[in-house]
Structure 1
């Protein structure tokens, strides 16, 4: 069986171009970019998606005619995928950061564990919120929405076009500021509730100075923190859905 060299390179190019964008997405996308997912699994998944996307992608760029302009196209494909995944990563970090603030206020900052995904030591409250975030993301078919946005990106921003500019990068940086604002909103109910508890302790100290407020204050604050976290879980679930929607809107906005 004789193979035409030009045909082989052309077919190879048809797969490599979508693979670049998909690889960039998988480098930063939550869950799939975790170290818990073996590199071989990610590679097989990325190549499978690239093969499936290749027939629907029309591009005249062939590595048979590789030149310096192709370097810019390669960087652009990787950058677009990285930005799409990074936006979702920011959404997930909202609740990790909010959980850290709540843990510190409730006296749960000492209860930490090593996050197997990031290899960092994070409070258990952050782990709880991160698990809720991951399950909500999957239950709302967020992974399918991301794949749909990825396929749409090949129509909105075809291979061989430079569509990601400073404005898109600026939008992602602005979204980083949004992450801190949302983290404060996530932790605000717990902060205000625990502030009231601390004010009550202050009043008790003034009324009955003989009370050892330090010995009884810590367990009460700890217990109140756990109760407040439990009560606020339904509200956190609604914030998770809203944050995911805003993240997907930004991803779609990057493609225009």
Structure 2
């Protein structure tokens, strides 16, 4: 019984740390009590599937810290993935001239760009509707077969380099996601610059802002279906990254 309780504590620690920071589950609408209950239910699944028993001994506190670290690392990788939509929205909003119109995001309680909120909400919608959360949770559960609850976890292992590489990929994905609208806005800026040289009397700031907003929204309407279709491969990359971390990087 003691071994079962110790194993349950370690499993719950890793899962709770993951759900505490992973964006789809760490939103303000998902209460701390709800996250705890979800982690507890998932822990029962893990324990029912069978994991190596962990006898509480002198190294038990260190095992708790190691499981918390691994859960936070996996959750941080997911949080980084959903940050790419904020990056894309911030890039486009800056070019549109709407960078000063950040509004409070009720999901996170922080200010975010307008298009960043749109992209994030669309990504969350597709994430759950398409069932992409299932392979993600399966990848998290697989970490228990690679790293048992009381198994050794080296902080100088491949987790940190894998997270650093994933961060670079996320920012690259965000730039590519914003590329169509950024390209159109660049052409609009170039046209407005030539127009200001040809007609110096024109107040280019008054004329340019609505033109850039219209150009960005028109491009968004054209490319939005393609952007939504691109979510599937991105979610596959996220699940593959979690599997990579679960397998030791």
TM-score (norm 1): 0.88
Look up the match of 1:57.
Answer: 50
SS at match of 1:31: helix
Q: Which moved more, 1:19-28 or 1:138-147?
A: 138-147
What's the CA shift for 1:23? Answer: 0.8
Q: Aligned partners of 1:114, 1:58: CA distance in 2, in Å?
A: 43
Look up the match of 1:20.
Answer: 13
Q: Aligned partners of 2:3, 2:202: CA distance in 1, in Å?
A: 81
Determine which structure has more spread, i.e. the larger CA radius of gyration.
1
Look up the match of 1:235.
Answer: 226
Look up the match of 1:107.
Answer: 97
Look up the match of 1:161.
Answer: 151
Contact 1:15/1:50 (<8 A) preserved: yes
From 96, 112, 121, give the equivalent of 2:111. 121
Q: Aligned partners of 2:52, 2:193: CA distance in 1, in Å?
A: 70
Unaligned stretches of 5+ residues in structure 1: 1-6
Contact 1:163/1:255 (<8 A) preserved: no
What's the CA shift for 1:132? Answer: 0.9
What's the CA shift for 1:159? Answer: 2.1
From 50, 62, 73, give the equivalent of 2:63. 73
Q: Aligned partners of 2:19, 2:154: CA distance in 1, in Å?
A: 18
Counterparts in 2 of 1:1-256, with a 5 A limit? 7=1, 9-63=2-56, 66-67=57-58, 69-163=59-153, 165=155, 166-256=157-247
Contact 1:19/1:46 (<8 A) preserved: yes
Contact 2:13/2:68 (<8 A) preserved: yes
Q: Aligned partners of 1:178, 1:58: CA distance in 2, in Å?
A: 33
Q: Which moved more, 1:70-79 or 1:85-94?
A: 70-79
TM-score (norm 2): 0.91
Per-residue CA deviations over 1:78-118 (Å, capped at 9, x if unaligned) read 11111111111111000111101101111222332211232
Contact 2:140/2:246 (<8 A) preserved: no
Contact 1:28/1:89 (<8 A) preserved: yes
Q: Aligned partners of 2:11, 2:50: CA distance in 1, in Å?
A: 8
What's the CA shift for 1:164? Answer: 5.2
Contact 1:80/1:164 (<8 A) preserved: no
Contact 1:16/1:50 (<8 A) preserved: no
Q: Against the structure 1 CA distance between its residues 208 and 186, is the aligned structure 2 distance closer, same or farther, given a 3 Å change threshold? A: same
RMSD over aligned CA atoms reads 1.8
Q: Against the structure 1 CA distance between its residues 239 and 162, is the aligned structure 2 distance closer, same or farther, given a 3 Å change threshold? A: farther
What's the CA shift for 1:176? Answer: 1.0
Aligned positions, number:
246
Per-residue CA deviations over 1:32-52 (Å, capped at 9, x if unaligned) read 111221111111111122123
